[in-house]
Amino acid sequence: MRACIASLAAVVVLVAGCGELPPRAAPVPATTPSAEPTDAGAAIVALAASLVGTRYQFGGADEAGFDCSGLVLYVHQHVGLGVPRTAAAQQRAARPVPLTELQPGDLVFFSSDSGAVDHVGIYSGFGRFIHAPHAGVAVSYAELASPYYARHLMSAGRFW
């Protein structure tokens, strides 16, 4: 399995370019160095990075377009990991990770003002994450420390 994930990561690099919630946690500063990624974490980030620029599509979960949880679903399936479909279900099913221990490939969960988890991204390291933000904005990187995301960050989790 490790060889398959490592091979997938290498190929991607060559080709590339919503329940009850825990209290809000403090965000990780954008300058915090991340731990070295595992093979699975690296493969998750490499594939997600290769999808930057793909259009947003509500309910989308393939290269024709993604919503936030569809991006997570697609990337995890392609590295051999099963995850639920929605951001809230992904948050409930993921193994919790303290925000101070984020590693590339972990998921970061956000809540709108309603208090329910309704957005998810893939942590890429150094305070950044990859996500499918909303209609009209393609898959892209964002900063955990940006005012909006820092205010709405709820938790982090891992499937690998």
**Using one digit for the tens of pLDDT, what is the confidence trace for 138-151?**
999 999 999 999 99
Q: Are 109 and 96 in contact (CB under 8 A)?
A: no
Strand (E) or helix (H) holding 3: helix 2-15
- Reported as a pLDDT band with limits 50, 70 and 90, residue 114 is confident
How far is it, in rounded angstroms, from Cα 98 to Cα 100? 5
This prediction has a pTM of 0.78
Catalytic residue list: 68, 119, 131
> Which residues are CB-contacts of 41 (< 8 A; sequence separation ≥ 6)?
103, 104, 105, 106, 160
Structural domains of the chain sorted by starting position, each given as residue range(s) with its CATH number in brackets: 2-158 (3.90.1720.10)
Mean pLDDT score across all residues of the chain: 83
Q: What percent of the chain has pLDDT over 90?
A: 74
Q: Which residues, in sequence order, are CB contacts of 98 under 8 Å at separation 6+?
A: 156
Q: Whose structure tokens read 């904005």?
A: 137
In our burial notation (b when 16+ CB lie closer than 10 A, e otherwise), range 2-11 reads: eeebeebbee
Q: pLDDT of 51-100, one tens digit each? A: 999 999 999 999 999 999 999 999 999 999 999 999 999 999 999 999 99
pLDDT at residue 13, as a whole number: 32
- At residue 115 the predicted structure's pLDDT band, cuts being 50, 70 and 90, is confident
Residue 20: the pLDDT is 29
